[in-house]
Structure 1
Amino acid sequence: MHVLVSNIMMINEKDRFDAVLREKGLMPIWPEVNQFMAEHQCLEYAQGVDGWLAGDDQITKTVLESYLPRLKVISKWGTGIDSIDLKAAQRLNVPVCNSPGAFRDAVSEYAIGLLLAATRRLARTDRMIRAGEWPKGRFPGMTGKTMGVVGYGAIGQGVGQRARGLGMNVIAHDPHMDSAPDGTQIVSFDDLLDQADVICLCCNQTPENYHQINADTLEKARDQVILCNVARGGLVDEAALIAALQSGKVAAAALDVFEQEPLPTDHPLLQFENVAVSSHNANSTVQAIEYVHENTLNNLYRHLGL
């Protein structure tokens, strides 16, 4: 049986996972991937794959139909499955597996770290000291502020837990939740914009929330609001965010994800000292990554009858 391996995390350890798959009697296929495969690249492997160890590939209805009847399972590396047409997969009886909740601790602690990097200028201070300077800045702290978490699943709840550890008040918005397991107040998105000093995006991206952070919603937000995005780049209208940073409406931004990845070196967001950027890598703890490696493979083996 042939297995397509298109997720970056396993591609980065190709020799290791090539050997692991071959030991199971499988024949791995290793495409050239820059972050994820677009629809046209996915279509290049139609009819030749029994299992798919997928990344954030554009697995559309057209792609799914082209892989049948041979494809038996899509085992997605990680938690997010918004790049897969799940309705089509269900209708076509193609199982889609992931690792829900696996990155709760890794991503939520990274969100807080990235937030502090943006607001307290940690990386900039480090660079200045290495250059022989000794800066003494004055920056906003988190204690006493209200953290508004958008998307209150495993990662959102992890962010809430850590924000309380910083002495923050926590509210959340989640359209799928009337009450939170940890007692956090669930509010409407408009109420969150009105009350939050810090907005942290932890939700899946859907057609309904694409560019949820835009010129209109930023206008409704508090002055000097701070934005953190560890979810998906498409949740934020980057042009609107840039304008809000320029005007001072947004005091700082902590961004692990972007609409175009990798982020171009001439991207306007890189001109701001109050913006901390990262490489879509908030899940980067050894423990979390190894767990997802194992779970992704087990999901594949189970559906291939191994």
Structure 2
Amino acid sequence: MNNRIVITTDYLRPGDTVDTMLRDRGLEPVYSPAGGTRTDEEKLALFKGAVGAIAASEPVARAMLATSPMLKVIARAGVGYDNVDIDAAAELGIRVCNTPGVNHHAVAELALALMLACARRLNTVLAGVDDGGWPREAGTELRGKSLGVIGYGPSGKAIAALGVALGMRVLVSTAHPDSEQSSGIEFADFDTTIKAADYLSLHSRAGKGDPIIDAASLSAMKNSAILINTARGSLVDEAALVEALKTGEIAGAGLDVLQREPMVEDNPLRTMSNVVITSHLAGQTLEARERAGVAAAQAIIDILDGKTPQGTVV
């Protein structure tokens, strides 16, 4: 029986907990970490001969699935799965799983870190210290400010709770309000939330339509507002964001995700002093990685054993 499991998630390695789990089940992990750009031939060959895969965030296109007739399951070591052609997987009978509930505290903590970095102008301060200076920027406090949260899944709930703990007014825009379990949080519609927010933090899933933060949304925000995105780059019209930052429609942004990753050299966001950018690492704590890898491996084992994992997408 075919037992190969292709692992492209770069922090999973031979000899770790995931490797041991899979081998104990009689499976053979094969490592092909995502990094740089694969050729078309490499992409088409990536999953050939494998029964399962633990996939990183690189695109998994229809052609890659169509050339992999033995493939039964793709597990994402994380929450997002928009990099996988879900329609093609469903048509080809390939199960797709994610790992919900493994990294929401890590995501919320990085969202908070980006808020603080923008509030205290750490880009400018750190650059000045590195250059031999001693800049003493006057930042602002989070306490008393309004935090707008778009989306109220696990990471949205976690950042909302942190906002309440810091003494912020927290407004949440969601299709699934939970007033009974959300002390100190106000639920509001999208327009109300973005207009009121001093900090607007995105925690919604990627959609197939237009970005939810476009030129009109940015224009409706306060001139002093900061946009925080630790969710998906596709949620924001990046060209409109660049223009809004240049013209002062909003004051700044803290971004962990971009429309194109890795960040291209000529991206104008790179040189803006009012923008803090991290490298898609919101969920990349040691603790979250361990939970995500174990959950992805368990999902593969469950599918091969005829069970349905909690994070089944298709």
TM-score tier (shorter): 0.7 to 0.9
User: Residues of 2 paired with 1:80 and 1:39: CA distance?
Assistant: 24
Q: Which has the higher contact order (CA 8 A, sep 6+)?
A: 2
Q: Is 1:4–2:38 an aligned residue pair?
A: no
Structure 2 match to 1:199: 200
The answer (yes or no) to whether the contact 1:254–1:276 under 8 Å persists in 2 is yes
- Per-residue Cα deviation, 1:39-96 (whole angstroms, up to 9, x for no partner): 875432454220111122433455444433x222111111112222334444544322
Question: SS of 2:284's equivalent?
Answer: coil
Structure 1's 18 and 186: CA in aligned 2 closer, same or farther, altered over 3 A? closer
Structure 2 match to 1:137: 137
The answer (yes or no) to whether the contact 1:6–1:37 under 8 Å persists in 2 is no
Structure 1's 59 and 166: CA in aligned 2 closer, same or farther, altered over 3 A? same
* 1:88-237 paired onto structure 2 within 5 Å: 88-175=88-175, 177-180=176-179, 181-183=181-183, 184-208=185-209, 210-237=210-237
Q: Is 1:273–2:278 an aligned residue pair?
A: no
Structure 1's 267 and 2: CA in aligned 2 closer, same or farther, altered over 3 A? same
- Per-residue Cα deviation, 1:147-205 (whole angstroms, up to 9, x for no partner): 11111100001100111122111111223x14454153332222222222211011111
User: Residues of 1 paired with 2:212 and 2:243: CA distance?
Assistant: 16
Higher mean C-alpha displacement, 138-147 vs 251-260: 138-147
Residue identity in the other structure for 1:186: F
User: Residues of 2 paired with 1:218 and 1:107: CA distance?
Assistant: 23
How many Å apart are 1:127 and its aligned residue? 3.6
Structure 1 match to 2:245: 245
User: Residues of 2 paired with 1:147 and 1:36: CA distance?
Assistant: 38
Runs of 4+ deviating beyond 6 Å: 35-40
Question: SS of 1:157's equivalent?
Answer: helix
Question: SS of 2:26's equivalent?
Answer: coil
- How many residues end up aligned between the 2 structures? 301
Structure 2 match to 1:31: 32
User: Residues of 1 paired with 2:116 and 2:76: CA distance?
Assistant: 31
Higher mean C-alpha displacement, 51-60 vs 235-244: 51-60
The answer (yes or no) to whether the contact 1:151–1:172 under 8 Å persists in 2 is yes
Structure 1's 18 and 227: CA in aligned 2 closer, same or farther, altered over 3 A? closer
User: Residues of 2 paired with 1:186 and 1:88: CA distance?
Assistant: 37
User: Residues of 2 paired with 1:39 and 1:191: CA distance?
Assistant: 46
Residue identity in the other structure for 1:288: A
Residue identity in the other structure for 2:247: S
User: Residues of 2 paired with 1:296 and 1:222: CA distance?
Assistant: 41
Structure 2 match to 1:255: 255
User: Residues of 1 paired with 2:167 and 2:263: CA distance?
Assistant: 33
How many Å apart are 1:19 and its aligned residue? 5.5
How many Å apart are 1:256 and its aligned residue? 0.5
How many Å apart are 1:107 and its aligned residue? 0.8
Structure 1: gaps of 5 or more residues: none
How many Å apart are 1:140 and its aligned residue? 2.6
Question: What's the RMSD between the two structures over aligned residues?
Answer: 2.6
Question: SS of 1:79's equivalent?
Answer: coil
Higher mean C-alpha displacement, 241-250 vs 259-268: 259-268
User: Residues of 2 paired with 1:39 and 1:77: CA distance?
Assistant: 24
* Identity rate, percent: 31
Residue identity in the other structure for 1:29: V
The answer (yes or no) to whether the contact 1:77–1:99 under 8 Å persists in 2 is yes
Residue identity in the other structure for 2:197: A
